[in-house]
Amino acid sequence: MWRISTILPVAGAVFRPFIKGKQTLSLAPINRDLTSEETVSGETDVAWGASGDAQSIVATDSEKADGNLPAGGPEEPISEPADWFNRTIMLTAIIAPFLGFLAGVYYCWTIGWMGWPFLAMIVVAWCMSGMGVTVGFHRLLTHSSFETYKPLRAFWMMMGALSIEGSPLVWCAVHRKHHQRSDALGDPHSPNLHGKGLWNTIRGFFYGHCGWLLTTHWSKPDLSRYVPDLLQDKFLVWVDRFYYLWVLISFAMPASIGVLIAWLSGDPLWKGALLGLLWGGLVRVFMGHHITWSINSVCHMFGKRDYQTNDKSTNNLVCALLGFGEGWHNNHHAFPTSARHGLRWWQIDTSWLAIYAMKKLGLAWDIKVPSREILAAKEIH
Classify residue 316: in a domain, yes or no: yes
Classify residue 2: in a domain, yes or no: no
* E strand or H helix at 208: helix 198-209
Residue 46 above 50 pLDDT? no
Q: What is the torsion angle, in degrees rounded to the nearest 10, for the CA atoms of residue 152, residue 156, residue 162 and residue 167?
A: -110
Residue 43 above 60 pLDDT? no
Classify residue 31: in a domain, yes or no: yes
Classify residue 367: in a domain, yes or no: yes
Least confidently predicted of 41-55, 84-98, 282-296: 41-55
Q: Residues 283-304: pLDDT tens digits?
A: 999 999 999 999 999 999 999 9
Classify residue 92: in a domain, yes or no: yes
Classify residue 253: in a domain, yes or no: yes
Q: At what angle do helices 284-297 and 198-209 cross, to 10 degrees?
A: 130
Predicted TM-score (pTM) of the model is 0.83
Question: What residue numbers bound the domain in which 291 lies?
Answer: 10-378
* E strand or H helix at 370: none
pLDDT greater at residue 284 or residue 21: 284
CA–chain centroid gap for 372, Å, is: 28
Q: Residues 220-273: pLDDT tens digits?
A: 999 999 999 999 999 999 999 999 999 999 999 999 999 999 999 999 999 999
Classify residue 265: in a domain, yes or no: yes
pLDDT of residue 48: 45
Closest CA to 190 of 177, 203, 204, 201: 204
Q: Are strands 22-23 and 54-55 parallel, antiparallel or unpaired?
A: unpaired
Our count of domains for the chain comes to: 1
Q: What does the pLDDT average to over 77-103? A: 96
pLDDT greater at residue 300 or residue 56: 300
Running DSSP on this structure, what letter comes out for residue 31?
A: P
φ, ψ for residue 264, nearest 5 deg: -70, -30
CA distance 45 to 333: 14
Classify residue 347: in a domain, yes or no: yes
pLDDT band at 77 (very low <50, low <70, confident <90, very high): confident
Would you say the C-alpha torsion 329, 334, 337, 342 has a positive or negative sign?
negative
pLDDT of residue 113: 87
CA distance 381 to 378: 9
What is the average pLDDT value for the chain, to the nearest integer?
A: 85
